[in-house]
């Protein structure tokens, strides 16, 4: 008898994504995601027999039932799941950007049979967490050593539209040649084993130690979640002129308000505050109104969607007007081409970042060029 399974992709943060990004941007991204996931399923299921999808599939759920042919190696299902997980994670980061991809929480699963959607959703609620991987074991070793093997790259932040460089964002990578070399490998491993806060703090300390020579003439933007901002010692080190603390989470209003005392301490020392990966939805705009950051960074999803959906431009224009009315500057992130730059010229953009202005570069290279 042939072996029947169902490859499933589940966007657990579908509702939160729409509240953050707005309806038009979310719809554009989901259309792109659907196309990409279908291509991934076709690639990893080569040689298997596709089966019809039973019942209506709710938003945020993609199902690809299949039947393995006789003689298929017994480890084929594990290989399918591993390949699909890696490719889907990469696709989500390309479409949403890193922080918004974590909010979207795209997960890959494999179930026996061809279950109906109602039963499948119940199974997803009790799906076991992924087992500890070799990459996660490497992360534990790295953190036990104080994060000394972490590498810091920096990417220019420029004034828009004239392109004058104002500073850099610090971007962390794992040890070269290791299982954690890429940013996605590094931070995915931390998320899977509950060490995101510890990794963020280690990355911030490393960036601050290596980038101190850039201050105060240049900005040095350092990414931290709300949980990491509870580290009082780190916050004291960040409370200085030239530092920009980028809050990387899409915070609900209550959580945003709870951060105000810590942000006041940072500002008192001369640091500035940015909200990273900001969308056009009500949740992100509420957080911006509560925190009153010095600037917000538009999610790369928004910038990329401007060329595909006119509705995104209308939502962005409305959101930008609300932000400017609050006295908040706007940075466009992920500007990669002259066409994307041109679309932004009609909006009240103050700063920009992306390959159009410079790619991430090892901080040692930047510091050597300044000597």
Helix (H, G, I), strand (E, B) or coil at 219: strand
Do 207 and 97 fall within a single domain?
Answer: no
Do 70 and 203 fall within a single domain?
Answer: no
Last residue of a domain, one of 59, 91, 125: 125
Q: Who's near 159: CB < 8 A, 6+ residues apart?
A: 166, 350, 351, 352
- The answer to whether residue 319 sits within a structural domain is yes
Across 81-95, 103-117, 214-228, least confident range: 103-117
Do 223 and 339 fall within a single domain?
Answer: yes
Residue 304: its pLDDT value, please? 86
The listed range with the strongest mean pLDDT (68-72, 96-100, 345-349) is 345-349
As a whole number of angstroms, the distance between CA 152 and CA 174 comes to 9
Residue 134: its pLDDT value, please? 75
> Other C-beta atoms within 10 Å of 370: how many?
9
Across 133-137, 191-195, 256-260, least confident range: 133-137
Residue 1: its pLDDT value, please? 41
As a whole number of angstroms, the distance between CA 110 and CA 78 comes to 9
Last residue of a domain, one of 70, 94, 125: 125
- How do beta strands 151-159 and 3-11 pair? unpaired
Do 166 and 51 fall within a single domain?
Answer: no
List the CATH number of the domain containing 307.
Answer: 3.20.20.450
Residue 340: its pLDDT value, please? 92
Do 88 and 140 fall within a single domain?
Answer: no
- The answer to whether residue 131 sits within a structural domain is no
Selected residue with higher pLDDT from 171 and 300: 171
Last residue of a domain, one of 76, 100, 125: 125
Do 186 and 320 fall within a single domain?
Answer: yes
Structurally, how many domains does the chain consist of? 2
Residue 218: its pLDDT value, please? 95
Say if residues 331 and 44 touch (Cβ distance below 8 Å).
Answer: no
- The answer to whether residue 87 sits within a structural domain is yes
Do 347 and 321 fall within a single domain?
Answer: yes
Do 18 and 75 fall within a single domain?
Answer: yes
pLDDT > 90: percent of the chain: 53
**How is residue 230 annotated by DSSP?**
G
- Residues facing residue 274 across a β-bridge: 246, 295
- The answer to whether residue 130 sits within a structural domain is no
Q: How far, CA to CA in Å, does 332 sit from each of 157, 219, 227, 306, 318?
A: 10, 16, 25, 12, 15
Mean pLDDT of 45-67: 86
Do 41 and 185 fall within a single domain?
Answer: no
- The answer to whether residue 88 sits within a structural domain is yes
What residue numbers bound the domain in which 101 lies? 3-125
As a whole number of angstroms, the distance between CA 152 and CA 132 comes to 26
**pLDDT category, 40, cuts 50, 70, 90?**
very high
Do 243 and 288 fall within a single domain?
Answer: yes
Q: What is the pLDDT of residues 174-224, one digit of tens each?
A: 999 988 998 988 988 888 788 889 999 999 999 999 999 999 999 999 999
- The answer to whether residue 350 sits within a structural domain is yes
**How is residue 270 annotated by DSSP?**
T
Q: Is the pLDDT reported for residue 79 higher than 90?
A: no
Q: Is the pLDDT reported for residue 238 higher than 60?
A: yes
Mean pLDDT of 81-89: 89
Global pTM value: 0.83
Do 103 and 196 fall within a single domain?
Answer: no
List the CATH number of the domain containing 21.
Answer: 3.30.70.1230
Mean residue pLDDT of the chain comes to 89
Do 324 and 209 fall within a single domain?
Answer: yes
- The answer to whether residue 20 sits within a structural domain is yes
- The answer to whether residue 257 sits within a structural domain is yes
Q: Is the pLDDT reported for residue 133 higher than 90?
A: no
Residue 253: its pLDDT value, please? 84
Residue 292: its pLDDT value, please? 96
Q: Is the pLDDT reported for residue 231 higher than 80?
A: yes
């Amino acid at each position: 008898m042939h072996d029947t399974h169902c490859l499933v992709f589940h966007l657990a943060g579908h509702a939160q994504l729409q509240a953050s990004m707005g309806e038009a941007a979310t719809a554009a991204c989901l259309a792109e995601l659907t196309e990409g996931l279908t291509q991934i399923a076709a690639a990893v299921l080569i040689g298997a027999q596709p089966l019809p999808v039973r019942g209506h599939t709710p938003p945020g759920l993609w199902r690809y039932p299949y039947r393995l042919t006789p003689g298929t190696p017994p480890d084929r299902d594990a290989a399918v799941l591993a390949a699909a997980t890696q490719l889907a994670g990469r696709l989500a980061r390309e479409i949403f950007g890193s922080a918004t991809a974590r909010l979207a929480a795209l997960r890959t699963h494999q179930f026996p049979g061809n279950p109906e959607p109602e039963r499948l959703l119940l199974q997803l609620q009790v799906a076991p967490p992924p087992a500890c991987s070799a990459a996660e074991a490497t992360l534990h070793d790295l953190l036990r050593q104080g994060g000394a093997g972490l590498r810091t790259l920096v990417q220019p932040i420029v004034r828009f539209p004239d392109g004058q460089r104002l500073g850099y964002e610090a971007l962390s990578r794992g040890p070269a040649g290791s299982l954690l070399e890429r940013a996605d490998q590094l931070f995915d491993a931390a998320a899977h084993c509950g060490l995101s806060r510890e990794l963020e703090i280690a990355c911030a300390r490393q960036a601050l130690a290596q980038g101190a020579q850039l201050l105060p003439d240049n900005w040095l933007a350092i990414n931290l979640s709300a949980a990491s901002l509870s580290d009082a010692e780190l916050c004291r080190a960040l409370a200085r002129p030239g530092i920009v603390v980028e809050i990387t989470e899409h915070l609900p209003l209550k959580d945003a308000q709870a951060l105000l005392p810590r942000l006041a301490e940072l500002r008192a020392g001369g640091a500035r505050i940015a909200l990273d990966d900001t969308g056009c939805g009500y949740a992100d705009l509420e957080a911006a109104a509560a925190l009153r950051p010095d600037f917000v960074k538009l999610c790369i999803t928004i910038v990329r969607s401007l060329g595909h959906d006119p509705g995104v431009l209308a939502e962005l224009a409305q959101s930008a007007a609300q932000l400017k009315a609050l006295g908040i500057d706007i940075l466009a992130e992920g500007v990669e081409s002259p066409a994307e730059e041109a679309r932004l010229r009609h909006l009240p953009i103050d700063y920009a970042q992306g390959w159009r202005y410079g790619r991430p570069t090892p901080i040692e290279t930047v510091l050597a060029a300044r000597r």
